[in-house]
A = this chain, B = another copy of it.
Amino acid sequence: MSEVIQKAKQAGTAAAVLNRLTTKEKNDALLAAADALLANADAIIAANEEDLRRGRDNGTSASLLDRLALDGQRIAGIAEGLRQIVDLPDPVGEVLETIERPNGMLITKKRVPLGVIGIIYEARPNVTVDAIGLCLKTGNAVVLRGGSSAIASNRKIVEVIHQALSSTSVPADAVQLIEDTDRASVDEMLRANGLLDVVIPRGGRALIQNVVQNATVPVIETGAGICHTYIDESADPQMAQDIALNAKVQRPSVCNAMETLLVHERFAEQRLLPIAEAMRQANVELRGCARTRQLVPRANEAAEQDYATEYNDYILNIKIVEGLDEALAHIARFGTKHSECIVTENREHAEHFLREVDAAAVYHNVSTRFTDGFEFGFGAEIGISTQKLHARGPMGLPALTSTKYVIQGNGQIRP
């Protein structure tokens, strides 16, 4: 039996135990795990150093090495993340609906764990702990398949958490790490129907597309964001500039950052230049349509392909449009249904935009950077869903649950 099949089966057995635990039992286990991470920080950092050394030898980029690196402060942050999950309400057992039927039978719709969740991700070892915390809190077992670049860190983290769980009600088998980092182990997870109830990919576009294209197991697609901000004719100029700058440069590397600024032609004539200059002062490379380049000196040309690119970087496309309809058409064509914003003082235009744009999060006069579980007040998130089934947008704990109908009666039969 392969590692994936064997570990998924063990996780399934553990999931049945998890399903019976109280919130307190699950929380106690998370607190024990948090304590153990702090107590074993040195050993984790030593394992991480092994990954970093290998990364440097392989010529890994500085930014990737930074994502991979752990130190005492980062481990403290990761442990604190677990404690925050403890403080969140447990969705399992919540009654969503009660229906009493004329024949006297009582139907109760309850939240239950999903079962076994597969997480496929890349370099960041903090995802390992996040995923464990979110899955265990919701009564799910988890099968983790991290990237090869973090394998030593992940192994040590899971070893520490296994030890911590052994003195709690949560079985250690509820947390499984796939140590085989060959591509084949991913493929096997994607086809483990009946063993994995869902697979959630976290990472770059290539990883997510591989999962979506090859999984027969249900998937929650996360991530890709080509987000737009549309500045309408009537926008408040200062607000428009503040929102656009925030959406682009507050943290360009993330999925809810803006990639393309759409500007109403009449706003652009008077007001685009100062925004463009502010972007440049923030080190943003500008790529514009023909009309943009007439208004903004030294802007590069934005090619068709640029509008379809998630830069996650200090690069911005600017396109001048005739009005709301052209902006909506551009977003429909190039958007990834993640986060889209209109800046306008025209209430009718705002309502039209909020209704017409097909995206997980649509904003009026607010930066797209807020599409995030913490910013929405969910306290934590396993990712941002860009699909329409099951969960859309930032996924808090309820997104990691399913439901069950419980029907109670006294001998009802169907006539």
- How far apart are the CA atoms of A16 and B243 in the complex, in Å? 28
Q: Which residues of B contact A413 (CB under 8 A)?
A: 242-243, 245-246, 250, 366-367, 369
Q: A198-B388, A411-B243 are in contact. Are A405 and B369 (CB under 8 A)?
A: no
Nearest CB of chain B from residue A307's CB, rounded to whole Å: 16
- How far apart are the CA atoms of A112 and B388 in the complex, in Å? 10
CB atoms of B239 and A388 under 8 A apart: no
Q: Which residues of B contact A359 (CB under 8 A)?
A: 404
| A114 contacts the other chain (CB 8 A) | yes
Q: A218-B388, A250-B413, A414-B369 are in contact. Are A376 and B99 (CB under 8 A)?
A: yes
**Interface residue stretch chosen among A56-64, A124-132, A171-179, A389-397:** A389-397
| A148 contacts the other chain (CB 8 A) | no
CB atoms of B239 and A411 under 8 A apart: yes
Nearest CB of chain B from residue A316's CB, rounded to whole Å: 16
Nearest CB of chain B from residue A117's CB, rounded to whole Å: 10
Q: Which residues 225-251 of A sit at the B interface, judged by CB distance below 8 A? A: 236, 239, 242-243, 245-246, 250
Q: Which residues of B contact A377 (CB under 8 A)?
A: 99, 101, 107
- Work out how many copies of this chain go into the complex: 2
CB atoms of B367 and A408 under 8 A apart: no
Q: Which residues 369-395 of A sit at the B interface, judged by CB distance below 8 A? A: 369-371, 375-377, 387-390, 392-393
- How far apart are the CA atoms of A236 and B409 in the complex, in Å? 13
CB atoms of A197 and B388 under 8 A apart: yes
Q: Which residues of B contact A112 (CB under 8 A)?
A: 358
Q: Which residues of B contact A198 (CB under 8 A)?
A: 388-389
CB atoms of A406 and B99 under 8 A apart: no
The residue from B355, B376, B412 contacting A370, defined by CB atoms under 8 A apart: B412
CB atoms of A193 and B212 under 8 A apart: yes
| A169 contacts the other chain (CB 8 A) | no
| A282 contacts the other chain (CB 8 A) | no
Q: Which residues of B contact A20 (CB under 8 A)?
A: 355-356
| A273 contacts the other chain (CB 8 A) | no
- How far apart are the CA atoms of A216 and B190 in the complex, in Å? 12
Closest residue of B by beta carbon distance from A388: B402
Q: Which residues 135-183 of A sit at the B interface, judged by CB distance below 8 A? A: none
The residues of A with any CB-CB pair to B shorter than 8 Å are: 16, 19-20, 99, 101, 105, 107, 112, 114-115, 193, 197-198, 212-213, 216, 218-220, 236, 239, 242-243, 245-246, 250, 332, 350, 354-356, 358-367, 369-371, 375-377, 387-390, 392-393, 402-414
Query: 11 A-B contacts, Cβ less than 8 Å apart?
Result: A107-B376, A114-B388, A197-B389, A198-B389, A213-B216, A242-B411, A363-B407, A365-B411, A365-B412, A366-B412, A366-B413
Question: What are the 8 closest A-B residue pairs judged by CB atoms, nearest first?
Answer: A246-B413, A366-B409, A388-B402, A390-B390, A369-B414, A239-B411, A389-B390, A361-B405
